[in-house]
Chains A and B, each alone.
Chain A
């Protein structure tokens, strides 16, 4: 009886906290489909006009293209750099491993404003400001930890003897990694890459400094529009960003489920 009361209180508290967590997300999604002109919740009616507005505005379209390019490049750089690093950290005895780990992770705890200023001051003389590739290089630094962490986790969960089994039965060690280890840890790598993409798509401060003028990515555009206007376009842009993230994740999850179904 008493235990049941405890459970009820705990359950209610957790439900309330979860509501607090996801309610803002629901609000933004709902307003993006609003038929009204203002940011009211609940919205007066349903329409797709704000999505049409975005699709018809070359500035928004270009912002989304910039964000896609930027995120794609960031994910690519982070994966190419992070996967080998994860192999080294998990598979080998390395001196000063703790220090190296801290170095790889420290971009995550560095205040974004500090990274933003230092990156901008560094990029201007190099001519990397106003460059999508340049910004992706900077984003890759903080996107890399996501790839390293997820790859390392998959790698640790993989039987090392699988690679040895491939080698002893004739596979060149490098080929054993490509044919056996990589397919098995692929879901971990993909999740890491998606997280790096999302990290880049959400990053505001470095992007403001580096790509603040022309060719803004979506976050910078949302942020600067937010100061000026207050119609549901922003909500729709946000919703598209959410949709994009969920789409990527869904692809990953279903690819994983497919792989699992194939092997059970």
Chain B
């Protein structure tokens, strides 16, 4: 009797468990195939190209690591990206905090303002700074009108103009990531700190701030990775001294048509960003975005 019952249910059970495997595989297949064909395969070919174009040698990499030009550009890139990241974090923190502690209408309003720039092309936002910071730009006009300076300040084509635009471009994302992290902090802890005698500032400093630090580090890593790849902003607002790696790769490829060298530099940049993204993933788990591995 039991044996018969077990026998009759065996086929559907097997069908069900294999269905549990086949359906998600079918659902993921197109997406993964697409990524492999249009993203991973091109990257692999680029990697191959970086050797093949120089007669199957490491010549391109030797240039990368020995030429003073590349060393200088890499240093500038890391320096600019780091400074932009730190400033973006400092400016994003209070906005994210206010978003966290306010509710309803005020939160919606601030979020709207934060998202508006996101809908505007990076080229356009950079271009806007070109207009604002010029000799006849609004900033210089204001400074001269108020008598603070008498000749226009050199606001363009230096690291100031590059940074002010980069930070403006990075800010919305930084705010959103920090806000997301802060929302996960249990706010009753702050109430608990206050009940036990901490003032607002003390409660913030001893409870909220330490708890928000992991979110700050996470946002910092992600924003840093993105700033390493900036092209438009340093190209439009910087001088040759502010050249970042993406510009150099662009010149190698589109002007010098040295695809081997461009590929090698691109690969090094890719490896650096992938390493940082992997660190981020290790500690902050990218797949938290869809409910984590437990879902």
Asked if chains A and B are in direct contact (CB within 8 A), the reply is yes
Q: Which A residues fall within an 8 A CB radius of B?
A: 2-3, 6, 10-11, 13-14, 17-18, 20-25, 27-28, 31, 39-42, 77, 80-82, 84-94, 97-98, 100-107, 109-115, 117-122, 137-138, 140-141, 144, 148-149, 152-153, 156, 198, 201-202, 204-205, 208-209, 219, 222-223, 226, 234-235, 238, 241-242, 245-246, 249
Nearest CB of chain B from residue A207's CB, rounded to whole Å: 11
Cβ distance B252 to chain A, nearest Cβ, rounded Å = 9
User: CB-CB < 8 A to A94: which residues of B?
Assistant: 24, 28
For the complex formed, measure the closest distance between the CB of B246 and the CB atoms of chain A, giving whole angstroms. Answer: 4
**Could you list 6 examples of A-B contacts with CB < 8 Å?**
A17-B95, A21-B113, A114-B43, A141-B35, A204-B232, A226-B127
A226 to B233, CA, bound (A): 13
Q: Decide: B119 and A242 in contact? CB cutoff 8 A.
A: yes
Q: Determine whether the beta carbon of B117 is less than 8 Å from that of A21.
A: yes
- Whether A17 and B94, one on each chain, are in contact in the complex, defined by CB atoms closer than 8 angstroms, is yes
- A interface: dominant SS: helix
Closest to A245 in B: B119
Is B45 a contact of A27 with CB atoms below 8 Å?
Answer: no
Give B86-133 interface residues, CB cut-off 8 Å to A: 91, 94-95, 97-98, 110, 113-114, 116-117, 119-125, 127-132
Complex contacts, A226 vs chain B, CB 8 Å: 123, 127, 236
Question: Given known contacts A152-B291, A205-B231, is B127 in contact with A111 (CB within 8 Å)?
Answer: no
Query: Which one of B38, B132, B253 contacts A137 once the chains associate, using CB atoms below 8 Å?
Result: B38
Mostly, the B contact residues are helix
Closest 9 CB pairs of A and B: A111-B229, A101-B287, A152-B290, A24-B128, A122-B42, A88-B27, A92-B24, A238-B124, A118-B42
Binding site for A on B (CB under 8 A): 20, 23-28, 30-32, 34-35, 38-39, 41-43, 45-46, 49, 91, 94-95, 97-98, 110, 113-114, 116-117, 119-125, 127-132, 134, 136-138, 168, 171-172, 199-201, 222, 225-226, 228-229, 231-232, 236, 246, 249-250, 253-254, 259, 262-263, 266-267, 269-270, 273-274, 277-278, 281, 285-287, 289-291, 293, 295
Q: Are the C-beta atoms of A241 and B131 separated by less than 8 Å? A: no
Docked CA distance A198–B108 (Å): 22
A220 shortest CB reach to chain B, Å: 10
Let me know if B42 and A17 touch, CB within 8 A.
no
Check A101–B31 contact: CB distance below 8 A.
Answer: no
For the complex with contacts A10-B97, A41-B137, A84-B27, 8 further pairs of A-B residues with Cβ separation under 8 Å are: A17-B171, A25-B125, A81-B30, A102-B277, A106-B274, A118-B263, A153-B289, A153-B290
Which residue, of A18, A107, A241, has the highest number of chain B Cβ atoms within 10 A?
A18
CB distance from B87 to the nearest CB of A (A): 11
Q: What is the minimal beta-carbon distance from A50 to any residue of chain B, in angstroms?
A: 14
The closest CB in chain A to the CB of B226 belongs to A109
Closest to A95 in B: B21
- Contact with B123, one of A14, A82, A137, A219 (Cβ below 8 angstroms): A219
Please report the C-alpha to C-alpha distance between residue A25 and residue B121 in the assembled complex, in whole angstroms.
10
A149 to B232 CA separation, bound complex (whole angstroms):
27
Residue of B nearest to A232 (CB): B131
- Give the residue of B20, B39, B116, B254 whose beta carbon is less than 8 angstroms from that of A25: B116
Q: How far is the CA of A223 from the CA of B250 in the complex (A)?
A: 14
> Which of B23, B45, B285 sits near A98, CB closer than 8 Å?
B285
